[in-house]
């Protein structure tokens, strides 16, 4: 998803099928008491996030392992020009039986809505009822470099979601929007039963206008990584505003959140493993970092060193400026106990299912720590 290593993108720079979580969150306006958490008898869900750090066949084994350990979902990244999401999603679906398979996230610009609907209908054929369409608004400068002008991203997202949902619902769709143009289009099944496909649509959002749109029209929202738990307070407020426009409660909206997890019994090694990714993100998305409480002075120093795309040497040089406190502010990094405690903070702030992005070499150890 989004610019750095595939995070969630949205119209302000960065951008279902989960069972209800084991924690019910009651939202309050930011600054008015935070959230009230009620424990229930249900277990708290957790999911795995895979990008391109592992060969796809290794990812298939990790998906199987996560399923065996009780993980609820595996999400596949897509945004950088390295690994598209739907091929590995199909691979994970083929070797698992229960676990949900989500795109985290595809963008709404480079696939026609009809093709997008057909693609996810096909994935549902492979794993009925287990596929989640996570979709975001991509990010600049990558979009601009390939000729995509992300104008009116909120309207473009609304039109795409409405059209794709109708097609997946087995409707014949005529849609004349500013971005979506369909004339009597349907998923023309011939060799299978015609019926609506149960593919929920989750919007990847980081900016608060996209957050409100997700609350209004999404079946769920994919909350971004490399933000602090305090960022979720504002996100929840805007999700509730959007949900209210559709006469629904924010509690009806699933809210999985990507969480960078660098886990090691050696705390220093864990923090160092996360520092480079954090540094790259500080340079690419300073507005999100500022919203999470990162000092402006640090962001200014980082921006003086990093260009786009940043070189390895630039990232390594800039990382020397990033203190442990900032790494821990926006990631779950450290010992297994520290990682679990930080993930619980995201849950308490409104996340229904942490989607763990493993940075360490031993992904199975991270899965075990949260099994």
Give me the percent of the chain exceeding a pLDDT of 70: 88
Helices (H), the chain: 56-68, 86-94, 113-126, 142-145, 153-168, 208-217, 231-245, 267-284, 286-291, 296-305, 312-319, 324-330, 336-348, 363-370
| Rounded Cα distance, 323 and 320, in Å | 8
Per-residue pLDDT tens digits for 216-226: 999 999 999 99
Please state whether the predicted TM-score (pTM) of the whole model is above 0.85. yes
Q: 3-17, 52-66, 192-206: which range is least confident on average?
A: 3-17
Per-residue pLDDT tens digits for 271-321: 999 999 999 889 887 877 887 889 999 999 998 998 777 889 999 999 999
Domain ranges of the chain: 23-265+334-370
Work out the widest C-alpha separation in the chain, in whole angstroms.
Answer: 61
Q: Does domain 23-265+334-370 have CATH number 3.20.20.30?
A: yes
- Tell me: pLDDT of 15 over 80: no
């Amino acid at each position: 998803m989004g610019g750095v290593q595939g995070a969630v993108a949205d119209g302000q720079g960065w951008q279902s099928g989960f069972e209800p979580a084991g924690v019910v969150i009651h939202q309050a306006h930011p600054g008015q008491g935070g959230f009230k958490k009620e424990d229930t008898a249900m277990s708290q869900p957790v999911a795995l996030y895979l990008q391109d750090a592992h060969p796809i066949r290794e990812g298939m084994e990790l998906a199987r392992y996560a399923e065996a350990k009780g993980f609820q979902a595996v999400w596949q990244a897509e945004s950088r020009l390295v690994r598209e999401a739907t091929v590995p999603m199909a691979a994970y679906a083929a070797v698992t039986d229960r676990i949900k398979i989500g795109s985290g996230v595809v963008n709404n610009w480079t696939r026609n809505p009809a093709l997008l609907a057909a693609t996810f209908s096909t994935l549902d054929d492979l794993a009925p009822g287990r596929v989640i369409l996570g979709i975001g608004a991509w990010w600049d400068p990558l979009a601009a470099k390939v000729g995509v002008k992300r104008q009116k991203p909120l309207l473009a997202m609304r039109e795409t979601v409405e059209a794709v949902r109708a097609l997946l619902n087995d409707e014949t769709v005529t849609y004349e929007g500013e971005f979506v143009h369909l004339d009597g289009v349907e998923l023309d099944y011939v060799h299978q039963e015609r019926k609506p496909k149960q593919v929920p649509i989750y919007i990847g959002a980081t900016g608060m206008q996209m957050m409100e749109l997700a609350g209004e029209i999404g079946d769920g929202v994919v909350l971004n990584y490399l933000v602090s738990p305090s960022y979720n307070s504002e996100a929840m407020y805007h999700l509730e505003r959007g949900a209210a426009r559709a006469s629904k409660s924010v509690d009806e909206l699933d809210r999985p959140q990507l969480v960078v997890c660098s886990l090691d019994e050696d705390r220093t090694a864990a923090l160092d493993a996360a520092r480079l990714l954090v540094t790259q993100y500080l340079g690419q998305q300073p507005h999100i970092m500022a919203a999470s409480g990162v000092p402006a002075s640090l962001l200014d120093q980082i921006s003086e060193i990093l260009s786009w795309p940043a070189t390895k040497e630039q990232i390594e040089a800039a990382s020397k400026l990033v203190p442990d406190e900032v790494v821990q502010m926006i990631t779950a990094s450290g010992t297994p106990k520290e990682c679990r405690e930080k993930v619980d903070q995201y849950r308490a702030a409104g996340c229904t299912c942490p989607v763990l992005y493993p940075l360490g070499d031993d992904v199975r150890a991270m899965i075990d720590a949260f099994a």
